[in-house]
Chain A
Amino acid sequence: MKKLGTFLLLATVLVGCQSPDPVQKASPELQREYNAAFQKMLNDPGNLDVVMAYAQVATKTGDYEGAVGAYESLLLVDANLPRVKLELGILYYRLKSYDTSRIYLEGALASPTLPADVRKPAELLLAKMPKQSKSKRT
């Protein structure tokens, strides 16, 4: 059962990484959920619950760029949000934008109000971070 769960999780991640427009490739039900969450955010952009709900469904759909946009908007409210930076670090890692992922993860770790449960995942991702620009020189 545990193996099945891991497989499904991995499959979800893999599918999300490869799709050029994941929203159009999502199930009709998920597309409806995504569109409804997006419209709600457009009509109530200052509502944190609504913004978070959109970020969550965008991530679930594989629209990591959409989720990035939502989280980035929160950093205008306050730059010292280590959990938001961890989320952004994870999302940019999923997008294989490693230089940017590293910036956000290091920013999270440098936060004076770093929560204990943010440190471990941030450090784990940083340890596995490919050196993007240099590794591309083939």
Chain B
Amino acid sequence: MSKSNVAVLLLLRALLVGAAVLGLFSTAQAQGRIGVTQSIQNNPVGKPPGGLDRVLRVGTDVQADEIISTAADDRAHLVFLDGTTLTIGPSSSMTIDKFVYDPTTQKGELAVNATKGVFRIIGGRISKTSTITVTTPSATMGIRGGIAVFGVTVPSATDSGGTTSILVYGNSLTVTAGGVTQTITVPGLSVTTPTGGTPGAPTIAVQGSLAAALATLVGNSTASAATVAAIQTLVASNLGNPVTLQALIQAIIVANTATPITTTTTTTTLAVIVVPENPNQTQASPN
């Protein structure tokens, strides 16, 4: 065999080995990836199972069982393979306990364990057929087809700690603790659960509390002028010209007037469902 033939064979072998390694690598990556970091502020940290802490950057994959934490001025916005998004506010910590998704059936399971901080979940495909579970030290929440915001505080010298859950949009948000379940069916209502206690009845979110929670989930105004201009231009193009936009808004107003908001909920009244430990004793009462 000539030297040139040997060189060709070695080169071919190296290419094959390289391709195999790359193939294995991409398979492992595909298996581990359950979502991606879409947007960040400062340096949110992710710790994949068995891995080291790494700063999440835009485009960083996230994995099941990954622990994500933020410092006082960090934020992260993740998008999962089913389209669910999770925004993590400052001084927060959470683990993605479970993510299973079959893109063919568009069904799966998502469970998150939040130990402190502020979070917003916008349900994707999974939430259309299954309940997304959020567990905190003081309560367990279930979200079905909707958007919810959670605030989790840890006990301190001045605060007993607890979980505040706000339904922003959707069919229902259940909050369970101490054998009691409260169900919110009206957007804008919230349930507060003290650590070691049971969830209170759904009440209209305290004036400004929803706005305050949402305000913690947006970044500081630190982007460059060029980036801001680029976003504004793109959004302006999505919104269309003023005449089209005006017509669209008129149509939306008419549509919402024609279909009263009660149609999106399972009840026409402000329902508070108290579920005692024995489900057979479930009772509903107006608040």
* Interface contact A80-B221, CB-CB below 8 Å: yes
* Interface contact B38-A73, CB-CB below 8 Å: yes
* Interface contact B79-A13, CB-CB below 8 Å: no
Does A120 belong to the interface (CB within 8 Å)?
yes
* Interface contact B79-A18, CB-CB below 8 Å: no
With most chain A CB atoms within 10 A of its CB, the pick from B124, B187, B248 is B187
* Interface contact A9-B247, CB-CB below 8 Å: yes
With A6-B247, A13-B252, A17-B256 as contacts: A41 and B79 at CB distance below 8 Å? yes
B266 CB → nearest A CB, Å: 12
Interface bin, chain A: 35 or more
- From B76, B210, B253, B261, A135 is in contact (CB under 8 Å) with B261
User: What A residues does B120 contact at CB under 8 A?
Assistant: 72
Does B235 belong to the interface (CB within 8 Å)?
yes
A124 CB → nearest B CB, Å: 6
Does A33 belong to the interface (CB within 8 Å)?
no
CB closest chain-A residue, reference B81: A42
Does B49 belong to the interface (CB within 8 Å)?
no
* Interface contact B269-A76, CB-CB below 8 Å: no
Residues 6-31 of chain A, each 1 if its beta carbon lies under 8 Å from chain B, else 0:
10011001100110110110000000
Residues 57-78 of chain A, each 1 if its beta carbon lies under 8 Å from chain B, else 0:
0010001011011011111111
* Interface contact B222-A55, CB-CB below 8 Å: no
B114 CB → nearest A CB, Å: 18
User: What B residues does A10 contact at CB under 8 A?
Assistant: 251, 254-255
Interface of A is mostly: helix
Residues 108-136 of chain A, each 1 if its beta carbon lies under 8 Å from chain B, else 0:
00000001010011001100101011111
User: What A residues does B157 contact at CB under 8 A?
Assistant: none
With A23-B125, A45-B79 as contacts: A125 and B189 at CB distance below 8 Å? no
A40 CB → nearest B CB, Å: 12
With A38-B83, A78-B219, A137-B270 as contacts: A87 and B186 at CB distance below 8 Å? no
With A65-B123, A72-B85, A77-B223 as contacts: A49 and B234 at CB distance below 8 Å? yes
Q: How many A-B residue pairs have CB under 8 A?
A: 222
CB closest chain-A residue, reference B76: A76
CB closest chain-B residue, reference A135: B261
With A65-B147, A87-B238 as contacts: A81 and B168 at CB distance below 8 Å? no
User: What A residues does B223 contact at CB under 8 A?
Assistant: 77-78
CB closest chain-B residue, reference A77: B223
Does B217 belong to the interface (CB within 8 Å)?
yes
* Interface contact A69-B85, CB-CB below 8 Å: yes
User: What B residues does A136 contact at CB under 8 A?
Assistant: 186, 261-262, 269-270
* Interface contact A138-B270, CB-CB below 8 Å: yes
* Interface contact B239-A86, CB-CB below 8 Å: yes
User: What A residues does B249 contact at CB under 8 A?
Assistant: 90, 121, 124-125
With A79-B219, A115-B232, A120-B246 as contacts: A72 and B58 at CB distance below 8 Å? no
Complexed CA–CA distance, A66 and B252 (Å): 18
With A97-B188, A136-B270 as contacts: A17 and B232 at CB distance below 8 Å? no
With A65-B123, A69-B83, A96-B264 as contacts: A81 and B59 at CB distance below 8 Å? no
User: What B residues does A78 contact at CB under 8 A?
Assistant: 219-223, 227-228, 231
Complexed CA–CA distance, A51 and B58 (Å): 13
* Interface contact B238-A66, CB-CB below 8 Å: no
Complexed CA–CA distance, A84 and B83 (Å): 20
* Interface contact B227-A69, CB-CB below 8 Å: no
Q: List 15 A-B contacts (CB under 8 A).
A: A14-B255, A48-B234, A59-B238, A65-B123, A65-B169, A79-B219, A79-B221, A84-B235, A86-B239, A97-B187, A100-B187, A124-B246, A125-B249, A134-B204, A138-B268
Given A42-B81, A46-B38, A78-B231, 11 more A-B residue pairs with CB atoms under 8 Å apart are A9-B248, A51-B38, A65-B146, A76-B76, A78-B221, A80-B221, A83-B239, A97-B188, A100-B210, A133-B186, A136-B261
